[in-house]
Amino acid sequence: MIPNNMRELVAIRDGHRCARCNVSILNQPSSVHHRKPRGMGGTKDPRANDPRNLIRLCGTGTTGCHGWVESSRHEARSTGWLIQSYDGLDLPMITTTGDRIELRIDGTRWESRNQGGEQK
């Protein structure tokens, strides 16, 4: 379970928008996604709720960007939305517009805008 203070930190950090497609998630279905999956039955790993592991996505596990991450796991891994158990939490994510997002341990994020505007 994600502590309420961490949910609030993620919502504020991500500007109440989907981190992947940038759509407003105010009054819309959305979820906090663990980039490094917790596994069946959860985990006792303290990094599970590290701010670098948590992102706000539109949709549920079957709809929106969260649904895309769950159904397109290979591409989600190649763009940083899912990370392997052996990967570090510092891997960046690539948005639908090609922007690069890096999450920091202090709960902030750094974003590099794609100058070409092409979708990746």
Is residue 118 one of the residues assigned to a domain?
A: no
Structural domain range at position 67:
4-112
Asked if pLDDT for residue 101 goes beyond 60, the answer is yes
Residue 120: is its pLDDT beyond 80? Answer: no
Residue bearing tokens 């159904």: 71
The answer to whether residue 36 is domain-embedded is yes
Q: Is residue 119 part of a domain?
A: no
**Do the domain assignments include residue 117?**
no
Q: Is residue 37 part of a domain?
A: yes
Give residue-wise pLDDT tens across range 20-70. 999 999 999 999 999 998 765 556 677 788 999 999 999 998 999 999 999
CA–CA separation, 64 vs 17, rounded Å? 12
- Does the structure show a pLDDT above 70 at 114? yes
Residue 120 in any domain: the answer is no
For the record, the structure tokens of 1 come out as 């379970």
> Between residues 86 and 91, which one has the greater pLDDT?
91
What is the tally of structural domains in the chain?
Answer: 1
Give pTM, 2 decimals.
Answer: 0.85
pLDDT at 116: 60
Q: How far apart are CA 6 and CA 81, in angstroms?
A: 18
Q: Who's near 52: CB < 8 A, 6+ residues apart?
A: 35, 89, 90, 103, 104, 105
